[in-house]
Amino acid sequence: NLCIHLEKFMMEQILLDPRYRPVLSIIKALRNGLMYGLKIRLPHSLIMTFLFHDGSIKTKLEYIIRATIQHGKNLAIFGVIYKSIGLLLQRIWGSNHPIHTYIAAVTGGYFAFGTNNPINMQVNMYLLSRISVGLSRLAVKKQIIPQPKFNIFPLFAIAVWGVALLLFEYHPDTLQPSLQNSMSYLFHQSTVWHGITDFILYNSESLW
C-alpha cells in the first residue's frame, strides 16, 4: 500500500508540474479523442445498425465495433496532430496566432479525416453544417452583413427541407446512404402496409 501511495504521489507531482504540461496535454488529447469517439459513435452505430442494416447479429456487432474504433482513433489522431503542431508553432514564434490554429487544424484534418469513408464523411458533414451557421453569425458580429430584423429561422428550415426532399425524391444517389435510409423509412416505407400488424406494430421493410 505504501508503494502504491508513493507511486500515485510521484505521478501526481509529474502531472501537476508546469514543465510537463505541453507534452501531457498531447497525451490528454489522445485520451479524450478516444473516449469522445467511443461515447458518440457507439450509441449512434448501435441504433442505426440495428434499425437499417441487414445481416446477422455478429456482422452488425462487428460493424459497430469497427465504426466505434475508427471514430475514436481518428479523433485521437487529430487531437495529437493539432496539439503537437500548435505547441510547436507557439514555441517557435513565442505566441499564439490564428494562422497557427489553422495550420495545425488543416494538417490534422488531412491525416485524420482526409480519407473518404462513411465515418469521415459524416464527421466532416457535421462540421460543415455547424461552421456554416458559425460563419453567418460571425459575419453579423463583424458587421459584414446586417443583423436580420426578423426571425430568419423559418426561412432556414424552408431552404433545408425543401432542398433535402427534392434531392431525395429525384436525385437520391447524391445523398449519403444513412440519410437515404432515414428518408426512405419516413416517406417511402410509410406508403407500404398489408394489414393492421405492419401498419401499427412494425414496419414492412424493417423491424420497427
So what's the pLDDT on residue 157? 95
The Cα-based distances of 78 to 31, 113, 160, 167 in angstroms read 12, 8, 30, 32
- The 3-state DSSP composition of the chain as helix, strand, coil percent (nearest 5) reads 80, 0, 20
Q: Is the pLDDT of residue 206 over 60?
A: no
Q: Per mean pLDDT, which range of 55-64, 135-144, 186-195 is the poorest? A: 186-195
Q: List CB contacts of 177: < 8 A, sequence separation 6 or more.
A: 118
Could you count the other beta carbons within 10 Å of the beta carbon of residue 134? 11
So what's the pLDDT on residue 98? 93
The tens digit of pLDDT for each residue in 118-140 reads 899 999 999 999 999 999 999 99
The tens digit of pLDDT for each residue in 137-190 reads 999 999 999 999 999 999 999 999 999 999 999 999 999 888 898 899 889 888
How wide is the angle at C-alpha 205 spanned by C-alphas 49 and 163, nearest 5°? Answer: 75
